[in-house]
Structure 1
Amino acid sequence: MAVPTLDPLHQRIYNYINPCRGNIPENVISTIAGNISFVIRHVHGPIINPDRVSIPVVDIGNRGHRAAVVVHKEELNSAVVVEARVNWGENAIVALGKKVDRMINELLDLSQALCTPQ
């Protein structure tokens, strides 16, 4: 069976987060990457250069980890789309995925409310 080709933004995000996945199944990481792509396009429009997207995952001293989705607009001008912080031993990518899921659910609820006849 052929593996489907991911769009370039989805692939870039997947490539960023896959090394941090720990024991998370690969299909879950692909879903998280797709959901992050959706949120980026919702916030910054449907056409975005994947090279403008970064996902830094950093240690926060002895407190834990922080992961963020960042869109680089121009030199010295970046926008954080979403971020998550976790304690040591927790997976920042999982937390980021959960936060993105909540954002998408809110967007879908709002869209449904706006499209439902009163």
Structure 2
Amino acid sequence: MISLLSYSNYTKEFGWQNEFAIKFRVIFVLKYAKIPLIVRRLDNMKLLASNIVVIFWSIIFGEIIGYIASALEVLPYDYLKIGGVAAVVAFIAVNGIYLISKDSYAKQ
């Protein structure tokens, strides 16, 4: 981040081409640096993190269940198809349950 004290040094070093970019950075830092991004967008980050965790664990459990099922049925084991299907099904199921039930939690 650029402080106001170093603003003149940056304009001398980089020339007039980047003066607008430097002014923009200084204004941006002064205006928005007080509030961290994670505080302003907590809901979006929380939703993204929970979806990543769901996809991660669904791939792991899908691979385990797929390996056991392919061994029992004597079928070839394709880890890409099994992991992809498990991730998509879990992603749709978790977000579908959330979207269906979020209105009932808001009314209580």
Instruction: Look at both structures and tell me which one has the larger radius of gyration over its CA atoms.
Output: 2
The structure carrying a bigger helix percent of its residues is 2
- Normalised by the length of structure 1, the TM-score is 0.30
**More strand as a share of residues:** 1
The TM-score, its normalising length taken from structure 2, stands at: 0.32
